[in-house]
């Protein structure tokens, strides 16, 4: 087992993210890029010190100002990140971005720009590219004024800067000083990237700023939490593949859900569930193009080139590949010592019946506010819904991808009901042919099954699965998908039970199962951020506006300084798990939209 050096790692929430919708990098508040996969989101990493030591790859660039106050901000309405140092002797800023390319095929380039705002500062640079998750031997060599990083079987990269570089330990290093208003620039990208030519960087920055600002200007949200909602939208857009239209669950892999634990998964893929929820959030804010692009990507997953329907998987690679085998990177010590660090995700082999509901909800929304469904698309939809009619009574692993025994989970039943409900609504609105009698009979059967078999009279609340007594954070979706009235007495009793048993200072845990056969994994996890925002929306829908408002404001304070959220919170509300997580940000958007409307006394013209 490799040695662990926790003092060299930054906390998960001490990071900003930059990206070009092809890849993404994390920059910590010390000025180091300590996570970057290249050239795709799910390619092997070239910087991975976030999950080990700097020897796993890092791009360090910072001034020698040990007593300075450090801050990170995004340039307004963009995903261009600025890290600032403020000291008695100097004020320094480093601007980081992945420029938006002219075409979707442009390879990612990391651009880092240093500026001394006042005073004088000495800077130290160390760029250590480590190919293939630091498994390959990367060699650095001088190429004129540049440094080229190469490894057998891996794409070579070039570092170009206007400061003299030398090589030390197969890393590019430099030390230089700048006076007030002086700047320095670093570019890291493919060896033959045309943007290395002189003067191109200024144009790249201008175009990138304009791209993000033009995009977020389309948002229809004008409520009181506009800054946080826009930041969430920008984060979700950054996690969207410009080329394919797929939407990632998160930008990272291997970040732990509990300190020192083994729940360390790879989220750099597209989950049908998470992406379909993201369609809801995009539509809610008026971003129809992103929703349409995702549905076009999805059509390629549900039918082959001859138009024949295919089995729908839980998750896919961004490019649509179906097999994502898990590999443990045993040479990495993990974030905070949490091992094993995993890439790939075996969840692709699981059965999760709830995905049909999320899928059909997205299809319904896109048809209502975006592109109308095609003839072939409706044929595939009918096949999917018929499959739900055949399988809804089966056991599965549920929304949380339990690695223990299968059960009849409430959430899976609920979303099977959603699949039937949205399909019937869509067919009715579009006058599409459908076996209405069969579908409606199945929808009613699922409805009755939930009320009869998942309500526990003794405990006075709904239960996670048949035969159990546990609560589950996914129950918070019951009123949000309009299965039950938000003020139904049985639902309110369940909401109160969740508040008593799963909520801690506004942070909601997915479940508290002592039986290992449910979860299938040792140890515990943090509170789930998305569930926490679902809880706020449930409170608001139940008319408990004062409590919902307070809980929401508390959750907003748990964001990192840039307004980003990871998957979970620890007991101190510090971030755990992969980051930033799309599911968290879309849940924030949904809660903000509904709560703002209720507090303002407005009626919505947007209805799912």
- Whole-number Å distance between alpha carbons of 388 and 417: 9
* Dihedral angle, C-alpha 423, 425, 431, 437, nearest 10 °: 70
Residue 187 half-sphere exposure toward CB, CA atoms < 13 A: 25
In this prediction, residue 298 carries a pLDDT of 86
Q: Where are the alpha helices (DSSP H) in 481-581?
A: 489-501, 516-519, 529-541, 545-557
What is d(CA 19, CA 36) in angstroms, rounded to the nearest whole number? 10
Q: CA 416 to CA 412: how far, in whole Å? A: 6
DSSP label at 443? H
* Structure-token pair, residue 568: 């979970």
CA-based nearest residue to 73, from 401, 519, 562, 433 = 562
Please provide residue 326's backbone torsions phi and psi, each rounded to the nearest 5 degrees: -80, 140
Q: What is the pLDDT of residues 215-234, one digit of tens each?
A: 999 999 999 999 999 999 99
Q: Quick one: which of 512, 559, 511 has its CA closest to 533?
A: 559
Whole-number pLDDT of residue 7: 46
Copy the structure tokens of residue 26.
Answer: 């994390």
Of 134-138, 396-400, 475-479, the least confident: 396-400
Of residues 208, 213, 248, the one with CA closest to residue 108: 208
Distance (Å, rounded) from C-alpha 144 to C-alpha 100?
27
pLDDT (average), residues 413-419: 97
Orientation of helix 436-453 relative to helix 375-391, angle to 10°: 40
Of 56-70, 356-370, 423-437, 545-559, least confident by mean pLDDT is 356-370
| Torsion, Cα of 47, 50, 52, 58 (10° steps) | 30
Range 9-205 has CATH code 2.160.10.10: no
Q: Round to whole Å and give the CA distance between 358 and 369.
A: 17
pLDDT of residue 522: 63
34 vs 254: CA distance, rounded Å = 14
Does an H or E element contain 247, and which?
none
Q: Compute the distance between CA of residue 352 and CA of residue 160 in angstroms, rounded to an integer.
A: 47
DSSP state of 465: B
- When pLDDT is cut at 50, 70 and 90, the band that residue 299 belongs to is confident
Span 239-298, pLDDT tens digits: 999 999 999 999 999 999 999 999 999 999 999 888 888 888 999 999 999 989 998 898
SS (H, E, C) 361-372: HHHHHHHHHCCC
Is it the case that residue 365 has pLDDT exceeding 50?
A: yes
Prediction pTM value: 0.94
Q: What is the mean pLDDT of the chain?
A: 93
Q: What is the pLDDT of residue 545?
A: 97
Determine contact, residues 548/540, Cβ cutoff 8 Å. yes
3-state secondary structure 193-238: CHHHCCCHHHHHHHHHHHHHHHHHCCCCCCCCCHHHHHHHHHHHHH
Q: What is residue 319's predicted lDDT score, i.e. its pLDDT?
A: 94
Residue with tokens 């039986």: 515
Report the alpha-carbon distance of residue 185 to residue 195 in Å, rounded.
13
Predicted confidence (pLDDT) per residue in 572-581, tens digit: 999 999 999 9
Q: For residue 3, name the pLDDT band (cuts at 50, 70, 90).
A: very low
In DSSP terms, 99 is beta-bridged to: none
Q: Where in the chain is the domain with CATH 2.70.98.50?
A: 9-205
Please count the other Cβ atoms lying within 10 Å of the Cβ belonging to residue 255: 29
Band of pLDDT at residue 300, cut at 50, 70 and 90: confident
Token pair listed for 542: 């139940």
Angle, helix 272-284 to helix 582-600, in steps of 10 degrees: 30
6 has a pLDDT exceeding 70: no
At residue 65, the pLDDT reads 97
Residue 1 binned pLDDT confidence (cut-offs 50, 70, 90):
very low
Whose tokens are 């601007």? That residue is 95
Mean pLDDT (whole number) for 522-534 = 89
The answer to whether the beta carbons of residues 305 and 320 sit under 8 Å apart is: no
> β-strands 24-28, 58-63: how paired?
unpaired
Instruction: Report the pLDDT value the prediction gives residue 303, as an integer from 0 to 100.
Output: 64
Q: Which two tokens stand for residue 505?
A: 């200072």
Among candidate residues 33, 35, 36, the one with its CA nearest the CA of residue 23:
36
Residues of the chain within CATH 1.50.10.10 domain(s) are 456-608
| Residue-level pLDDT at 197 | 85
pLDDT cut 70: percent of the chain above it: 95
Please, how many CA atoms are within 13 Å of residue 73, restricted to the half-sphere of its CB?
8
Smallest CA-to-CA distance from 476 within 460, 492, 489 is with: 492
Count the alpha carbons within 13 Å of 242 in the hemisphere toward its beta carbon. Answer: 18
Residue 62: pLDDT over 50? yes
Position 2 scores a pLDDT of 39
Q: Is the dihedral of CA 224, 228, 229, 230 positive or negative?
A: positive
CATH of domain 456-608: 1.50.10.10
Nearest of 88, 251, 178 to residue 579 by alpha carbon = 251
Residue 515 reports pLDDT greater than 80: no
Q: What is the DSSP track for 554-580?
A: HHHHTS-TTS---SEE-TTS-EESSSS
Cis peptide before 39, with omega less than 30 degrees from 0? yes
pLDDT: which is higher, 339 or 291:
339
Task: Assess whether pLDDT exceeds 70 at residue 406.
Answer: yes
| DSSP-derived 3-state class of residue 82 | strand
Which pLDDT does position 517 carry in this prediction?
A: 46
DSSP letter for 552, please. H
What is the sign of the dihedral through the CA atoms of 363, 367, 371 and 374? positive
Residue 507 has pLDDT above 70, yes or no: yes
| Residue linked to tokens 């896919």 | 316
Q: Is the preceding omega at residue 368 within 30 degrees of 0, hence cis?
A: no
């Amino acid at each position: 087992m490799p040695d662990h050096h926790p003092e060299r790692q930054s906390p998960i929430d001490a990071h900003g993210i930059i990206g070009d919708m092809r890849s993404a990098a994390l920059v910590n508040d010390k000025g180091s890029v300590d996570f970057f996969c290249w050239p795709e989101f799910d390619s092997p990493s070239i910087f991975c010190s976030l999950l080990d030591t700097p020897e796993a790859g890092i791009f360090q660039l910072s001034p020698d100002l040990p007593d300075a106050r450090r801050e990170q901000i995004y340039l307004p309405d963009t995903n261009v990140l600025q890290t600032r140092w403020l000291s008695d002797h100097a004020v320094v800023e480093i601007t980081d971005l992945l420029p938006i390319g002219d075409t979707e095929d442009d390879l990612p380039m990391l651009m880092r720009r240093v500026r001394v705002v006042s005073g004088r500062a000495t800077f130290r640079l160390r760029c250590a590219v480590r190919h293939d998750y630091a498994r390959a031997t990367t060699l650095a060599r001088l190429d004129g004024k540049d440094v080229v990083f190469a490894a057998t079987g891996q794409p070579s990269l070039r570092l170009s800067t206007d400061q003299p570089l030398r090589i030390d330990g197969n890393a590019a290093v430099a030390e230089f000083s700048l006076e007030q208003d002086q700047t320095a620039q670093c570019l890291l990208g493919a060896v033959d990237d045309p943007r290395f030519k002189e003067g191109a960087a200024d144009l790249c920055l201008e175009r990138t700023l304009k791209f993000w600002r033009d995009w977020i200007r389309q948002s229809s949200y004008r409520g009181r939490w506009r800054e946080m909602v826009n930041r969430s939208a920008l984060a979700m857009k950054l996690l969207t593949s410009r080329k394919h239209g797929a939407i990632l669950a998160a930008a990272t892999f291997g970040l732990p859900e509990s300190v020192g634990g083994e729940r360390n998964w790879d989220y750099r893929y597209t989950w049908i569930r998470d992406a379909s929820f993201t369609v809801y959030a995009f539509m809610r804010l008026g971003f129809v193009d992103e929703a349409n692009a995702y549905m076009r990507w999805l059509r390629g997953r549900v039918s082959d080139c001859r138009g024949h329907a295919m089995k729908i998987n839980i998750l896919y690679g961004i490019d649509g590949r179906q097999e994502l085998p898990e590999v443990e990177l045993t040479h990495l010590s993990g974030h905070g010592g949490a091992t094993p660090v995993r890439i790939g995700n075996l969840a692709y082999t699981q059965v999760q019946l709830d995905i049909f509901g999320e899928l059909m909800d997205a299809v319904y929304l896109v048809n209502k506010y975006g592109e109308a469904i095609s003839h072939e698309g409706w044929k595939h939809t009918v096949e999917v819904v018929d499959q739900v009619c055949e399988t809804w009574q089966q056991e599965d692993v549920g929304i949380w991808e339990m690695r223990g025994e299968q059960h009849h989970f409430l959430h899976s039943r609920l979303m099977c009901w959603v699949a039937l409900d949205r399909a019937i609504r869509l067919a009715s609105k579009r006058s599409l042919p459908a076996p209405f009698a069969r579908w409606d009979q199945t929808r009613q059967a699922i409805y009755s099954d939930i009320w009869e078999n998942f309500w526990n009279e003794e405990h006075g609340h709904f239960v996670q699965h048949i035969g159990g007594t546990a609560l589950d954070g996914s129950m918070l979706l019951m009123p949000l998908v309009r299965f039950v009235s938000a003020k139904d007495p049985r639902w309110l009793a369940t909401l109160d039970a969740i508040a008593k048993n799963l909520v801690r200072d506004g942070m909601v845990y997915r479940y508290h199962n002592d039986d290992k056969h449910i979860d299938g994994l040792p140890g515990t996890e943090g509170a789930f951020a998305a569930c926490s925002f679902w809880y706020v929306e449930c409170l608001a829908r139940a008319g408990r506006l004062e409590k919902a408002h307070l809980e929401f404001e508390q959750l907003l304070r748990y964001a990192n300084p840039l307004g980003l959220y990871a998957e979970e919170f620890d007991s101190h509300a510090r971030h755990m798990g992969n980051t930033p997580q799309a599911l968290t940000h879309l849940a924030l958007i949904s809660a903000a939209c509904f709560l703002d409307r209720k507090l303002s006394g407005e009626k919505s013209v947007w209805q799912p």
